[in-house]
Amino acid sequence: DMKPEVMTHPLTNAEGFILPTSFYHHNHTEMENFLKSIAATYPSITRLYSVGKSVEGRQLYVIEITDNPGHHEPGEPEVKYVGNMHGNEVVGREVLLLLIKFLCENYGTNDTVSRIVNSTRIHIMPSMNPDGYVRAKVGDEDGVIGRENAHGIDLNRNFPDQYQQTK
Ligand SMILES: *[C@@H]1O[C@H](CO)[C@@H](O)[C@H](O)[C@H]1NC(C)=O
Ligand SMILES: *[C@@H]1O[C@H](CO)[C@@H](O)[C@H](O)[C@H]1NC(C)=O
Ligand SMILES: *[C@@H]1O[C@H](CO)[C@@H](O)[C@H](O)[C@H]1NC(C)=O
């Protein structure tokens, strides 16, 4: 009876986390608390900021994860991850919250993570459409309620397009 061998650091569990991890959907307040708690726990590698407010006044949070947060370092690549543009497509939001937790916890323990954080400026926006998220209905697998923002704009179809006008 052969079990697949999983390489994990002695401190991490099977999912790669060091601290206990709950897998559940975070509403806006819970997401806000999560991000604030991460920023408070890992101040030397994070910076929580907002790019503004949604139509209904919710903060559009971004957390920066890097070795020198808040500073542009010439030559250091910057990347961004954006989730939940369609408010009713909710998995990416949770995946990004888990990525944030994973990177912060493993920094200083896992060499790969430490190298990534040291050499990259990572910006993560778990939700670009918090208003749509609130409108979306649990269990509505095929619907479009909550897809658009509160102005009826499909944010994922609203980037400049070379060929056609966007909504
Ligand atoms: C470090 O994290 C990477 C990415 O999850 C993982 O593949 C690797 O096994 C980890 N290294 C150790 C020593 O746990
Ligand atoms: C968000 O979740 C918290 C904790 O589970 C709950 O107390 C709160 O009522 C929820 N907020 C909304 C707007 O659903
Ligand atoms: C990341 O940077 C810290 C602080 O400069 C340093 O102590 C650490 O060795 C670096 N880790 C890696 C894997 O480069």
Helices 91-106 & 111-119 angle (0-180, nearest 10): 100
CA of 112 to the centre of ligand 3 (A): 11
Question: What separation in Å is there between the alpha carbon of 6 and the centre of ligand 3?
Answer: 25
- Tokens standing for residue 70: 């808040």
Cβ 105 vs Cβ 18: under 8 Å: yes
Q: Are 126 and 61 in contact (CB under 8 A)?
A: yes
The two structure tokens encoding residue 17: 């986390």
The pLDDT of residue 8 is 55
The rounded Å distance from CA 29 to ligand 2 centre is: 7
pLDDT, tens only, 95-142:
999 999 999 999 999 999 999 999 999 999 999 999 999 999 999 999
| DSSP for 98-128, written as a single string | HHHHHHHHHTTT-HHHHHHHHH-EEEEES-S
- 156 C-alpha to center of ligand 2: Å? 27
Whether 11 has a pLDDT exceeding 80, the answer reads no
Substitution site in 114, 115, 116, 117 for ligand 3 pocket (most atoms within 8 Å of beta carbon): 114
Is the pTM for the entire model greater than 0.95?
A: no
pLDDT tens digit sequence for 17-66: 999 898 999 999 999 999 999 999 999 999 999 999 999 999 999 999 99
Cβ(115) to ligand 3 under 6 A? yes
Q: Is 31 in the pocket of ligand 1 (CB under 6 A)?
A: no
CA angle 50, 54, 55 (to 5 degrees): 155
Phi, psi dihedrals of residue 81, rounded to the nearest 5°: -120, 135
23 CB burial (10 A radius; 0-12, 13-18, 19+):
exposed
Domains, the chain, with CATH or none = 28-138 (3.40.630.10)
Three-state SS for 83? Answer: coil
